[in-house]
Amino acid sequence: MAEEFDLQGIAQEILRSQTDARFAGDSVPNTDQAQAIPVLSTDAGEIGSAVRVSLQADYAEQGDTGPAFRGTPNDFGWRHQNRMEIGAYSESYVGVQIEAGGVLELNPNRATVYWVNALGSLSVRIADISDPGSVSGFAPTPIRCVSFVIVLNRSGGATVTWPDGTQWSKDVRDPNGDGSAADSLLNAPSVSSRDVFVLLHFPGLATIGFLSGKDFA
């Protein structure tokens, strides 16, 4: 009987044996191994977060030096990834009840998906998004935006005051195109309704609103 070989295992052993034989410009850091986890400051205290990937997408220029090449520090560890595969994924949400005249605060340090039971009209505000800062002097300045999903359950006649300057598409503001707000899809429903909204927030630039759907049943 012919002897069977684990070719994949042999190839991996060969690659591991050659790890220390890299030359400047030949390869980039393998982030599948342990590396420093950035620390973010949130309302809940300091937490760490990291994404485990395989190889960096941006290859180094010929002659570059850095940690991977036993040289000087560089920004290889913070370059954009070409692709990231995620297996099973779920996201936490916050369920809140808002009294009539109350305020729904959207805080990305708490959640970005909200299930809201409104007992009357309400206002929506977005909490300040703290700048996490750079984890290293060699890392680029972080620029962040955040999106919020709001499932709003409300009674008939309950209005929503959205954050100042929230921008909505014309087919939401004026679906009939007659220049009147009377037919706006943002108006209060006549009966109890479950509506879904999405806000895309760019701090200091704009907040863009999307109506995902009305009167889900």
Per-domain boundaries in the chain: 25-84, 94-213
The total number of residues shown for the chain amounts to 217
In the prediction, which pLDDT does 63 show? 59
Residue 210 phi, psi dihedral angles, 5° rounding:
-130, 135
**What pLDDT was estimated at residue 204?**
87
Query: Which of 117, 73, 81, 78 lies closest to 99 in space, CA to CA?
Result: 117
Candidate from 72-86, 157-171, 191-205 with smallest mean pLDDT: 72-86
Task: Report the helix count and the strand count for the chain, using DSSP H and E.
Answer: 2, 11
**pTM exceeds 0.85 for this model:** no
pLDDT digit string (tens) for 79-127?
Answer: 555 666 778 888 899 999 999 999 999 998 889 999 999 999 999 999 9
CA distance 143 to 33: 26
